[in-house]
Structure 1
Amino acid sequence: MLLFIISSCSQSQKSKSEDVELELQTFISLLEYDFKVLEDEIKNLGNFVHYLFENKEKILSKADKNKYKFRGAFSNVSPNSDPNLSTIYISETSENKQEALELLYLTNSLDSAFRAIIDKHPVVSQVYFNSQLQINRLYPPYDAFSMLDPDLDVTSFNFYYFADEQHNPSKETIWVDETYVDPVGKGWMISLLNPIYFENDLKMVLAFDITLNDIIEAYLDKFDSNFVIIDSTGKLVAGKAKGIEALSLPPLKNHTYTQTITSDSYREEDFNLFSSKNREVRKLASQIILSSEDEYILRDSGVEIKVSAAKMSKLNWYVLDLTF
C-alpha cells in the first residue's frame, strides 16, 4: 500500500510537471507565432516603400503637397489632429528640409497603410518611420508638441540606430527586445525594425511598437499560469502580479515621460533580478540565464516556489512559470 501511495504521488507530480511544461511551451509558441506574423507584415510594408522609391518621379508629380500644414517642426498633432493621418515631425536639425519634405510627399500613401496595420494587429500600438533626413512619420497621431523637443536627432535613438548598417550589417528585420520607455508616452515597449535600403542607401527605418501592457493583455492574461518574462540581462519585461511579487520586484507600472523625451523617470536596476536584494532571486537569475537551467526551487520565508523556465528562440527572452 505504501509503495502504491508513493508511486501515485510520483505519477501525480510527473503529470503536473508535464502540464506546466506544456503550458509554458504553448505560451511561447503563441507569442512567437504572432511575432513572426508581424515580421512578415513589416517586410511587406518595406516592399511597398521600395515600390514608392522605384516610382519616385511619377508619385512626386502627382503628390498632394498641401496635405500637411506645419507649425514649426510639427504637423497633424493631437488633440486637434485628423485621425486618418500620421503626425509628422521634421527636426530643426535637418540639414536639407527640401529633401525631408520630398520624402514626406513620396510617402503620403503610407498613412492608409499604417492605419491598416493598426486595425489588423491590435498588439501594435504605433507604426512609424525615421529617416536620416530627420523626419518622422507616426500613426496614430499624438501630442507631439508636449512630448518632443523641436531639435531632436531622430537617428540617435535605439529604434533607428539598432537597424543601421553598423549595428545590423545583415540589413534584416530586427527586434529591439530590451524594453525601453517610449518617447511619445506609450510607456514600456519593444520594437520591430525594418531598415529600408534603396540603391545601397538607408532611406528610412520602419518600426512597429508593442507596449508591455499590450503583451500582458494579449498574451499573459489568457493563461492562468503565473508567467514572468525577463530578458537576457535579467530585467523584467512583463509578468503576472503574483509572479512579480514572488521575485521580490516592485509592481510594474506604465512609466512614461512626463516632460520631454530626455526625462527618464524610472530606475532600471529596481526591475533586474541580478540586482535583487534577495539572494535567492539573484541565484535564480544566475542559474537560469548563466547556467541554462530550466528548473529552480525558490525558497522564501519557508515557502517553496517551483520555477520552470524556457528560452524563446525569436527574442532573447526567458519565460518563467512560477508554481506555488
Structure 2
Amino acid sequence: MDYDLGNLENEIKNLGDILQGYFEKKDSILAVADRGRYKFQGGIANAIPNEDPNLSTIYISSKAQNMDEVMDLLYLTNPIDHHFKELFEKYEVLSQVYFNSKLQINRLYPPYDANTMLEPDLHIPSFNFYYEADLDYNPEKKTVWVKDIYIDPVGKGWVASLIHPVYVEEDLKMVLGFDITVNDLIEFYLNNTSRNLVIIDGAGTVVAGKSKGIEALSLPPLKNFTYNQTIKADNFRMEDFNLFRSKSKEVRKLASKVILSGEESFFLKDGQESVAISVVKMDRMDWFVLDIVFE
C-alpha cells in the first residue's frame, strides 16, 4: 500500500506541474480555447445521465463572485480532462481525480450526478479537501494526505484524499485531489490477504478492516455511508469507531500504547478469547496497520 501511495504522490505532483504550465501560457491557451465545450444548466455541466465520458463534471457554486475569472479558469484548464481520465484509468484504486478553486469551481473526473448530489451554494474552501492544503494548514506548500477519512460529497462514501496545492507565485490557484474509497482499500489490500488486518488513524479511529478483526477490538461493524441527503460540510467517522471509545478497557489501553507510546506488539484477552496483535506504522500516512491473530 505504501508503494502504491508513493506512486500517487508522484503523479499528483506531476499533474500540478502541468497545471502550472497552463498558467505560464495562459494568454496563448485562452486565445484558442473551445468556449463551447461545456454546456451549463445552472452551475453544472457534463453531469450524469447525459455525460461525455471523456470530460469532467464541472460544478460552479452560486457563491462564485467573479464569473469572468471562473470561466477563464475553466477554459484554461480544459486540457487537463485528458490527464484526469488517463490517471483514473491507470490506477484502479483511484475513485476520482479533481481540483477545487477558491473561485468556487470544482472539476472532477469521472462524471457524476452533480445535480442530485450537490447543493447549489457550497462554499468550496470550507471543506477539508481544500483548506488542509492552504497556507494556514500547509505552509510548506507540499503534497499532503487529508488527516481524517470523511464522507465524500459526490457519493463515493468514506474516502481518503491526497491533495496538492497549485501555486502561481504566491497565489493558491487550486487544490488537486485524488480520492481512494475505504471500500477500495478493503478490496485491493485487506481482502488480498487471509490475515485479520485493521487500519487505524493517528487519532485511533478505524479507517478500514476485516470484520473479525474489528469485532475483536470491541467495536461495532463498519458500514458504508448511505446517501439519503446531500453533504453540506465536513463529515467525519463517528466516535463509535475509535479505539479510545471501545467498550473494552484493554482495547483502550492498547490504543494508548500504539498511538502514544509507539509499541508494536500486544497480547489481548477479552473474556474467553485471546488475540496477539502486531502493529506497523505506515510510512506515508499517520496510519497504523494492526495484524490480529486469534489464539
TM-score by length of 1: 0.88
SS at match of 1:85: coil
SS at match of 1:108: coil
CA distance in 1, matches of 2:273, 2:61: 55
Q: Is the 1:183–1:257 contact (alpha carbons within 8 Å) kept by the matching residues of 2?
A: no
Structure 1 runs (4+) deviating above 3 angstroms are 263-267
- The within-5 A match list for 1:57-96 is 57-96=27-66
Q: Residue deviations 1:132-184, cap 9 Å, x none?
A: 11110000011111111111110000000000011100001011142111011
- The within-5 A match list for 1:1-324 is 31-262=1-232, 268-324=238-294
SS at match of 2:15: helix
For the aligned residue pairs, the C-alpha RMSD in angstroms reads: 1.4
Q: Is the 2:151–2:236 contact (alpha carbons within 8 Å) kept by the matching residues of 1?
A: no
Q: Residue deviations 1:18-46, cap 9 Å, x none?
A: xxxxxxxxxxxxx1111110000001111
Q: Is the 1:73–1:90 contact (alpha carbons within 8 Å) kept by the matching residues of 2?
A: yes
Which residue identity is paired with 1:194?
H
> Residues 156 and 278 of structure 1: is their aligned pair in 2 closer, same or farther, counting only changes over 3 Å?
same
CA distance in 1, matches of 2:147, 2:136: 18
Q: Is the 1:193–1:208 contact (alpha carbons within 8 Å) kept by the matching residues of 2?
A: yes
TM-score by length of 2: 0.97
Q: Residue deviations 1:83-115, cap 9 Å, x none?
A: 111110111101101100110000001111100
CA-CA distance at 1:258 after TM superposition? 2.0
CA distance in 1, matches of 2:31, 2:53: 26
CA-CA distance at 1:262 after TM superposition? 2.7
CA-CA distance at 1:267 after TM superposition? 6.3
Larger-Rg structure = 1
CA-CA distance at 1:199 after TM superposition? 2.1
Could you tell me the percent identity over the aligned residues? 59
CA-CA distance at 1:75 after TM superposition? 0.7
CA distance in 2, matches of 1:277, 1:97: 53
CA-CA distance at 1:265 after TM superposition? 8.3
> Residues 120 and 266 of structure 1: is their aligned pair in 2 closer, same or farther, counting only changes over 3 Å?
closer
CA-CA distance at 1:264 after TM superposition? 8.2
CA distance in 1, matches of 2:53, 2:226: 23
- Larger fraction in helix: 1
CA-CA distance at 1:205 after TM superposition? 0.3
CA distance in 2, matches of 1:130, 1:264: 15
CA-CA distance at 1:266 after TM superposition? 8.0
Which residue identity is paired with 2:21?
Y
CA-CA distance at 1:297 after TM superposition? 1.0
CA distance in 1, matches of 2:2, 2:230: 33
CA-CA distance at 1:197 after TM superposition? 0.3
Partner of 1:18: none
> Residues 261 and 212 of structure 1: is their aligned pair in 2 closer, same or farther, counting only changes over 3 Å?
same
Q: Gapped runs of 5+ residues in structure 1? A: 1-30
CA distance in 1, matches of 2:68, 2:237: 41
Q: Is the 1:255–1:265 contact (alpha carbons within 8 Å) kept by the matching residues of 2?
A: no
CA-CA distance at 1:257 after TM superposition? 3.4
Q: Is the 2:145–2:162 contact (alpha carbons within 8 Å) kept by the matching residues of 1?
A: yes
Q: Is the 1:86–1:140 contact (alpha carbons within 8 Å) kept by the matching residues of 2?
A: yes
Q: Is the 1:181–1:257 contact (alpha carbons within 8 Å) kept by the matching residues of 2?
A: no
Q: Gapped runs of 5+ residues in structure 2? A: none
More displaced, 151-160 or 295-304? 295-304
> Residues 175 and 263 of structure 1: is their aligned pair in 2 closer, same or farther, counting only changes over 3 Å?
closer
SS at match of 2:212: helix
CA distance in 1, matches of 2:224, 2:50: 25
CA distance in 2, matches of 1:175, 1:263: 19
SS at match of 1:306: strand
